[in-house]
Amino acid sequence: MEKFKALTTLSEDEQLFFDTVKDFAESEIAPFSAKMDADSKLDPSLSPKLFEMGLMGIEIPEKYLGSGSDFFMAILAIEAISMIDPAIGVVVDAQNTLVNNLVLNYGSDFLKSKYLPQLAAKKISSYALSEAVSGSDAFALTTRAEDKGDYWELTGNKLWITNGGDAELFVVFANANPAAGYKGITAFMVEKDSPGFSVGKKEDKLGIRASSTCELILDHCIVPNENMIGELGKGYKIAIETLNEGRIGIGAQMLGLAEGALNHGLRYIQERVQFGQKIGNFQGMQFQLADIATEVEAAKLMVYNAARLKMSGRNFIREAAMAKLYSSQIAEKTASLMVEFFGGYGFTKDYPVEKLYRDAKIGTIYEGTSNMQRLTIAKTLLKNL
């Protein structure tokens, strides 16, 4: 039967890549999704497959063992995977749009040569910015970096860190000069086995449970001088610019979730019979379907537009915020409606829409809450007056 398919134009290569990734997700991820969700754990067999497919180093140049592709392809991969399991979508998202891009854009030649091959071929990474007192106010972070001459010593705790339990490499933001406020913030590459580094509490989450979310503990953690990323005190700039790109990634994750939920609903309403006919034949169902499909298509256009703007080197900050804001709203709305389409079955864990409904909520919270996106949108609009 015909599945929902947005008509947004992709090139032949882009469409082939999207279809290939989606086929991979259906065959290699879908069979494990329910168990990973129940166990709150990434299946150990899955990580190597993600690397083998080249999905963890999409923009990393081939000389560093990456796929040598581009940002838009990374967005397509996140969308395609998230149609099947948004928890794995965010594993791929954090690796590509946050950590890999950060090292590519700001890392020294030494850091690129040392870490990009690892990121492309074998090691999951994590982006550690948030703390207990610095969520939306990210630059209020209290983790400190002290210059010890031959090395840096990092002290503090990070919270709600995506991939924290599975990662072996961590981009950690710490303040090297508290007197300078946010202008003291500096980024460092920290390895999991660094002295003084440990992973703390793993959060028991509502959704995207296969992606670990953990506390990181830096107890006088020793980091070599050469592991500073970018310039001293420029971490705030690195964080802002990286998160602007990351928001498009979350937009793609939420878009994929919405498409996946809609496809489940489409199949179900063409199978479920009530009052002697398929429930999809009722006009009331068809009108709801038409409205939500239109909104999903609009979200797709916004995500793709933001990604294309970024690819072309044009300003994309407002469009990224809009895409993240809108797609997260539509993901929640679509998943909720599909639970209703399934009726009582939708409220049980035997059917996938219940999981997608739980997975959707995080989209309005992480990588900038919806209100933070609204603030960004409003400021960019007023700035142009």
Phi-psi region of 307 (alpha: psi -120 to 50; beta: other; left: phi over 0): alpha
pLDDT of 139: 86
Q: Is the pLDDT of residue 3 over 90?
A: no
**Euclidean distance between CA atoms 357 and 334, whole angstroms:** 8
| Residue 99 sits in the same domain as residue 148 | no
Q: Considering the entire predicted model, what is its pTM?
A: 0.96
Look at residue 265 and tell me if it is in a domain.
yes
Residues 115 and 24 in one domain: yes
pLDDT band at 1 (very low <50, low <70, confident <90, very high): very low
| Residues 321-340 pLDDT 10s | 999 999 999 999 999 999 99
Same domain, residue pair 269 and 241: yes
- Do residue 186 and residue 104 come from a single domain? no
> Is residue 262 packed enough to be buried (19+ CB in 10 Å), middle (13-18) or exposed (0-12)?
buried
CA atoms of 344 and 157, how far apart (whole Å): 43
pLDDT digits (tens, 9 = 90+) for 80-91: 999 999 999 999
pLDDT digits (tens, 9 = 90+) for 130-185: 999 888 888 899 999 999 999 999 999 999 999 999 999 999 999 999 999 999 99
Indicate whether 320 and 366 sit together in one domain.
yes
Q: Is residue 2 part of a domain?
A: no
Domain span at residue 90?
12-124
104 & 131 share domain:
no
Phi and psi at residue 172, in whole multiples of 5°? Answer: -115, 130
- The position carrying tokens 């490499």 is 169
Check whether residue 184 and residue 269 sit in a common domain: no
367 catalytic residue (yes or no) = yes
pLDDT value of position 225:
98
- Residue 4 domain flag: no
Active-site entry in 79, 245, 297, 367: 367
